[in-house]
Amino acid sequence: MQPVTITDPDDPRVALYRDVRDRDLQSRAGLFMAEGRFVVAMVLAQTRFTPHSVLVTEPALQSIQSTLKSIGDATPVYLASQEVMDAITGFHIHRGCLAAVHRGDPLDAGTLIAAARSPDECLVVLEDTANHDNVGAVFRSAAAFGVGAVLLTTRSCDPLYRKAVRVSMGGVLRVPFAFIDSAADAARALRAAGITAIALTPALDAFDIADAPRAHRVALFIGAEGPGLTPATIDACDLRVRVPTTDLVDSLNLSVAAGIAMHALAPLPLRSRA
């Protein structure tokens, strides 16, 4: 792997990195953008997504040098000064490290549900979750607590959006996900597959999470910040569960509540880092 030095922000070889805040990268090229040394190193080390190219500053190059050696010459690595990189991207890239990555073919929700055959399986379903920070944080917790897959309604935001990938600390690269049209329909499909559908809600008449009935195969349903799950989705689930709080707040942030629920109800044992 021999880095190619870029000195001109208008160099056509790095056109994909120009104005990376632009959200139409997917429609233009079928790519997503990974940001940060840890996340980019994870992109290069995994096999699900194929990197298109990498753009780094000299300090970032040194930081991920060992990982870059594994990709050979098929993936171009572009080296730029911090000033040139910032001019290319349109804002300051603090860690000096980006990778453009092929999205590949989307996964099918039905296939992910059918694959959830483990006696100790946990899935997460996000309904109309449009905040990238929340989606990224949910994926980070999903990776931490051994969640098998995440399903998102089509009104949810893109898990492969640059900020969501960064907030997830690469969790979206590790946890399979697929989009669904209806969370209520997904609840019925999951129940038909023998998976207990659990609606997370702040409603006071829901089960306290510490007292909720335990099941070996579960799917946690989580609604958007503010409105929460739709009534149709709640009705389609097997039971409702709440995280109790003091009366100083009416609810927790979506991603915080989701993390607590995954830790409490996901039946998978924590996996070793080895």
pLDDT given at position 21: 66
**pLDDT(252) > 90:** no
4-102 fold: 60s Ribosomal Protein L30; Chain: A; (3.30.1330)
pLDDT tens, position by position, 44-77: 988 899 999 999 999 999 999 888 887 877 899 9
**pLDDT(26) > 70:** no
Domain chopping of the chain, boundaries: 4-102, 109-265
pLDDT given at position 134: 96
Binned at pLDDT 50, 70 and 90, residue 265 comes out as confident
pLDDT given at position 38: 93
pLDDT given at position 14: 94
4-13 long-range contacts, CB within 8 A, separation 24+ = 4/76, 4/77, 4/78, 4/79, 5/78, 5/79, 5/80, 6/55, 6/78, 6/79, 6/80, 6/84, 6/88, 7/80, 7/81, 7/84, 8/84, 9/84, 9/87, 9/88, 13/76, 13/78
pLDDT tens, position by position, 136-163: 999 999 999 999 999 999 999 999 998 8
pLDDT given at position 70: 78
> What pTM, to 2 d.p., does this model score?
0.89
**pLDDT(270) > 60:** no
Listing DSSP states for 152-196 in one string gives EETTSPPTTSHHHHHHTTTHHHHS-EEEES-HHHHHHHHHHTT-E
- Mean pLDDT over residues 8-31, rounded? 78
Distances (CA, A) of 260 to 122, 182, 216: 14, 24, 17
- Mean pLDDT over residues 154-178, rounded? 93
**pLDDT(273) > 70:** no
- In angstroms, rounded to a whole number, what is the distance separating the alpha carbons of residues 238 and 141? 23
- Tell which CATH architecture fits domain 109-265: 3-Layer(aba) Sandwich (3.40)
